[in-house]
Chain A
Amino acid sequence: MSIDVEQFHGVFFDESEEHLQAMEDLLMTIDVDDPDIEELNSIFRAAHSIKGGSGIFGFDALTGLTHVMETLLDRARNQTMALDTAIVDVFLETVDTLKATLTAYREQQPLPDEQIAAGIEKLEATLKRQDGQAQLLAQAEAAEVEEDEGFGFFDDIPEPVAEADGTSTDALFGDLAFGATEAEDSASSAAVKADEEDDGFGFFTDIPAPEAKKDDAEEDGFGFFVDLPEPAKTAPVNVTPIKSAAQKPAAKNNNSQSKESGSIRVDTGKIDGMVNLVGELVITQSMLSMIGRDIDGQSGELLQAAIAELQRNTREIQESVMSMRMLPINMTFNRFPRVVRDLSQKLGKQVKLVIEGGATEIDKSLIEKLVDPLTHLVRNSIDHGIESPQTRAEAGKPASGTVILSAEQKGSSIIISISDDGAGLSRERIMDKALQNGLPVSLDMPDSEVWQLIFQPGFSTAAEVTDVSGRGVGMDVVRRNIESIGGRIEIESNLGRGSSFSIHLPLTLAIVDGMCVTVGKQIFVMPLLNIIESFQPKPEQIQTIGNDNVLWIRDEYWPLLPLHQMMQVDDAIQEPTESIIVLLESGKNRLGVQVDALMGQQQVVIKSLEKHYKKVAGVAGATIMGDGKVALIIDVDSMAQSCQLNIKQEVCA
């Protein structure tokens, strides 16, 4: 029977990624002096699952690396090897290498062979270092091990079962795996010791081709169990609870796994499809209520009541569908204990990381895009913000610095902040650097404007360039990344007491808070985030430069862009003084946009124009209004830039 194994690759990759994350989390929290055996077991099992899965799918590089890692982990959990920080470091590095390898397999890129080889070497070196101690113990136990050798056969059997149970719907296998996992724990350690006894370490150095005698048993096992995934064809949704039933008994205190129970893995495409359909439902419902207004009499009243009920239900459906896309921000925050640990060690600083509000939920698409900017900011805080222990002591602060990573929801936006109790931003140094770079600054600028200078390209006040930071390529990229997901970043800083970077983000990318404006008969939507204010201009506020009008407001000239001109609407109000001006801001660009009238504020679902058409200049996307008509959403960023360009051209001409 032939089965297309590739259909399970995605599941394997996802699960392995989760296993790696779990390993990393556990390694981070482990107490090297008094390790919790349960935690070590969980780490071991995670490595073992990856090894098993990668063996089935033929991802040999993963198998090789996890195998050596497993050997070391096994000794640690059997307490035949004492853990120390160096070993944990090696494990963490291995997790990194495994992650890189996994990504390479997933994206079908060339494998990081050198990194893998180096990783295996490092693990083996650790293994050899432990050799002396381990050898004694191994010999002492050799006698009993001999008797247990029969278990060698069972060693790998549970593995395919554990792999298959993710896709099988038969609860029986859950039980089987449960029982087998326990057997495996004792059996595999016995087998490993048996190997040590027989071949010394010869077996472990052969890693790239892990084809030793015990693999024969493994193959038998696979031959039988590979057929299991079959039922999955009719039931493509993973039944995760069974998997946790198999793994959980031994992992009582593993939070990430217990959270997993009762959840299913669903393709994001399916959720997006639902979001779309619910959007349609909202529109249909508002059409119904429009029609319902024309119906009089008793049936009209009944209809109104029914429509009101429908309205409530649709809103609830919309909310629950949107919540499906939301994930706790811990998905992003989880990686930072590692970043902080590595970096503070490297820089010889003592840093404590505090994470607050990790359960705050945020759109899945934002989670991925937040990783880079946040990593950069956290690294900055540690590298530039937190001082060395001596400096801190001199300043009368505790030797250990604190970085607080927090997230909270305020209205329809999420605020993520990175605060440290370090040195704070130095106004003088920023001003010096700004003058050096020829930026337009004045000495009496308010602090808030001075802080914004660090977002300029090529701006770094770091005394020396390290491989951590200081090249000045970072902060402008951070700001751009954050703005590209509709957010903004603010800085607060106190010299000597620390600084705080807060990122304000919309809850989701799928919906935007917009201001609906009319130009002629057409409706446009402006993102509320970009709007500063709107007003009707007085004649003296409008001045003409060349062919264009500019706006004079609060002692500043603003470019004025008539939206009807930009969007080629014929029947709009031409005279600026009879129309409404909306002041918009995007990044450092500001402009006034002339529209006919404001209609009101509304949450709109963003739809792509590119899907069936192409990108339109000055338009970020489209949305569907209550009457089913399409309204275009203004892209303030590109509009401001094109406006800036026009002015420059005219000045040059």
Chain B
Amino acid sequence: MSDSTLQQSPVASNEKEFLSFVLGKEHYALDITTVKEIRGYEAATKIANAPAFIKGVLNLRGDIVPIVDLRLKFNVGEATYNEFTIVIMLHVHERIVGVVVDGVSDVVRLTEDDILPPPEFGVAFDSQYLLGLSEVDDTMVILVNIEKLITSDALALVDPNQNMSLAG
């Protein structure tokens, strides 16, 4: 764990907290304010005519929530499901979406200055879904613009006609 998370100093105004997670061998991070909860993977109810990366729907305390496997969507690592597989429940634009990852590692604090522009290639994610890159403890962490990704047409989680209102 990095030192920065152990210190309970208040978040500086230009500092943002990110939750870092692992997909295959790569390290990613997303804005922690979008995270509702983190839980172990459990089999979801399959939905017909949905792309393979949508694993189905789960009951999250009464809400029917879709589960997306980003490893399948972006061809990173192997989509295995065991007791270590993690689902990050995100709360984006009044919607809850579960994202399957290989593991969550840390909470990192970054300022604007720590974030480098994203590379145009070499990352599984399309650069339009990235906020940038950063180095944490000598490891390259890719910062994902999760709001944009979740509401994107590529994931097809939202009806196109509903998309407009979400963007607003």
Contact = CB atoms under 8 A, between A and B. Distances in A.
Interface in B43-91: 44-50, 56-59, 61-66
Given A622-B57, A624-B59, A628-B59, A568 B64 contact: no
B64 A522 contact: no
Interface stretch (B19-27, B122-130, B131-139, B155-163): B155-163
B96 interface: yes
Contacts of A619: 47-48
A227 to B, nearest CB: 36
A616 B48 contact: yes
Nearest to B157: A613
Contacts, number: 72
Given A566-B48, A632-B45, A280 B64 contact: no
A567 B159 CA distance: 20
Interface string A332-361: 000000000000000000000000000000
Most chain B C-beta atoms within 10 Å of own C-beta, residue among A567, A568, A609, A613 = A613
A611 B46 contact: no
Contacts of B59: 283, 624, 628-630
A56 interface: no
Nearest to B91: A612
A537 interface: no
B157 to A, nearest CB: 6
Contacts of B57: 609, 613, 622, 630
B30 interface: no
Interface residues of B, number: 25
B108 interface: no
Nearest to B60: A612
A613 B45 contact: no
B109 to A, nearest CB: 30
B98 to A, nearest CB: 9
B62 A609 contact: no
Contact of B97 (A522, A607, A610, A612): A612
Contacts of B39: none
Given A612-B96, A613-B57, A607 B62 contact: yes
A568 B51 CA distance: 12
B48 A618 contact: yes
B62 A624 contact: yes
Given A612-B64, A613-B157, A629 B46 contact: no
Contacts of B62: 276-277, 279-280, 607, 624
A624 B162 CA distance: 25
A252 interface: no
A630 B95 contact: no
Contact of B45 (A279, A617, A631): A631
Nearest to B96: A612
Interface in A602-638: 607-619, 622, 624, 628-632
Interface string B137-168: 00000000000000000001111001000000
Q: Which of A277, A616, A618 has its CB near the most chain B CB atoms (within 10 A)?
A: A616
Contacts of A612: 63-66, 95-97
A279 B156 CA distance: 29
Interface in A556-577: 566-569
B96 to A, nearest CB: 5
Contacts of A632: 45, 47
A631 B45 CA distance: 7
A221 B156 CA distance: 58
A523 to B, nearest CB: 8
B45 A630 contact: yes
Interface in A578-619: 607-619
6 contacts: A609-B57, A611-B64, A612-B97, A613-B57, A617-B49, A622-B64
Interface of A: 276-277, 279-280, 283, 522, 566-569, 607-619, 622, 624, 628-632
